[in-house]
Amino acid sequence: MELHFLGTGAGVPSKQRNTTAIALKFLNDYKGALWLFDCGEATQHQMLYTSLKLSKLERIFITHLHGDHIYGLPGVLGSRSFQGGKSPLTVYGPKGIDKFIKATLSISETHLHYPLKVVEVEDGMSIDLKSHTVTVKELEHAIQSFGYRMKEKKKPGSLLVDRLKEIGVKPGPAYAALKKGERVTLDDGRILNGEDFVGPKKPGKTVVILGDTRVCKNAEVLAENADILVHEATFMESDRKIAYEYFHSTTVDAARIANRANVSKLILTHISSRYQGEQSNLLLKEARKVFKNTFLASDLDIFTF
């Protein structure tokens, strides 16, 4: 999987950071499928600088309805259609997202040539998908804001190739069938059960992406033992009072959540435009004093895992 940060700013864009949007690209088994988390203004423009394709976009998860997280959504939906997208697309988000989409598409007379489904999420909702289970929990922000925990389902174990070779089974079509757990009849009449030649199932990865939030218990619950936690860090620790007043987090807030939740990697985003140049490095240093394996996302950064 890859995380593509299309926008890492907060509130308003700056020359260094566009408004919020993160793409999760699935590789190998998932054939390049794409999920999008938030869709700030100019998200589709940012995508032009990447290898991402709107035709691969399957799901969009909106954390909350502030403009810097949704003003790019009508454009993305329309361009996906204009570029020949035909496959279904599902948008998840807080109550009101359906009304926003319908109003903007209707007023602009934008007609989609693919099935669009809109799901308004609630606190505690669990979305069971073929490859993942997505857990939704409400955070603490000025308006309703959610975090999403993507837990990849267990994958089939590796084929025990050495064991097959020991009993004289050469590579070929039988290997593919056995890896699927199927029963195979060999040319010599022997019947093999695929379950006997596949190792234990492999645990999937867990990625957590939070919307705007103050420090709250649900952020920690969602992040528990995650491989990657994406957490807002709108303000430096010296601006803690402002952060609290505006329902946001500091770098240290995010790092403390990562520590308590035992995550493997923390990625900071949603950085206020007041921090430019060298100040961005200070944000990272500040967080790393609390949680060493912290990274500060910049626009168009890609994290592979």
Instruction: Give the Cα separation of 161 and 221 in Å (integer).
Output: 40
pLDDT of residue 201: 83
Residue 158 has pLDDT above 90, yes or no: no
Residue 300 has pLDDT above 80, yes or no: yes
The answer on whether 66 is annotated among ligand-binding residues is yes
Q: Which residue in 29, 38, 68, 253 is the catalytic one?
A: 68
Instruction: Give the Cα separation of 167 and 193 in Å (integer).
Output: 13
| pLDDT (average), residues 176-195 | 88
The answer on whether 239 is annotated among ligand-binding residues is no
230 falls in which pLDDT band (50, 70, 90)? very high
**209-221 tens-digit pLDDT:** 999 999 999 999 9
The crossing angle, in degrees rounded to 10, of helices 251-261 and 278-288 is 30
Q: Which of 19-23, 66-70, 91-95, 152-156 is the least confident region?
A: 152-156
Please classify residue 185 by burial: count the beta carbons closer than 10 Å to its beta carbon, then call 0-12 exposed, 13-18 middle and 19+ buried.
Answer: exposed
The answer on whether 141 is annotated among ligand-binding residues is yes
- Write down the mean pLDDT value for the chain: 95
DSSP 140: -
Domain boundaries, the chain: 2-155+202-304, 161-197
**Catalytic residue flag (residue 68):** yes
What are residue 206's DSSP bridge partners? 151
The answer on whether 270 is annotated among ligand-binding residues is yes
CB 40 within 8 A of CB 84: no
| Tokens linked to 123 | 């606190």
Instruction: Give the Cα separation of 302 and 24 in Å (integer).
Output: 10
**84-125 tens-digit pLDDT:** 889 999 999 999 999 999 999 999 999 999 999 999 999 999
Which amino acid does the sequence have at 253?
D
71 falls in which pLDDT band (50, 70, 90)? very high
**9-36 tens-digit pLDDT:** 999 999 999 999 999 999 876 778 999 9
Listed in sequence order, the residues at least 6 apart from 102 whose beta carbon sits closer than 8 Å to its beta carbon are none
pLDDT of residue 58: 97
Among 66, 88, 68, 67, smallest CA distance to 77 is for 88
Instruction: Give the Cα separation of 182 and 174 in Å (integer).
Output: 9
Classify 83 as helix, strand or coil. Answer: coil
Residue corresponding to tokens 């903007």: 104
Instruction: Give the Cα separation of 25 and 10 in Å (integer).
Output: 23
| Tokens linked to 267 | 């990625």
Q: Domain 2-155+202-304, CATH 3.10.20.600 — does that match?
A: no
What are residue 50's DSSP bridge partners? none
Per DSSP (E only), the strands in 94-194 are: 116-120, 126-128, 132-138, 146-152, 183-185, 191-193
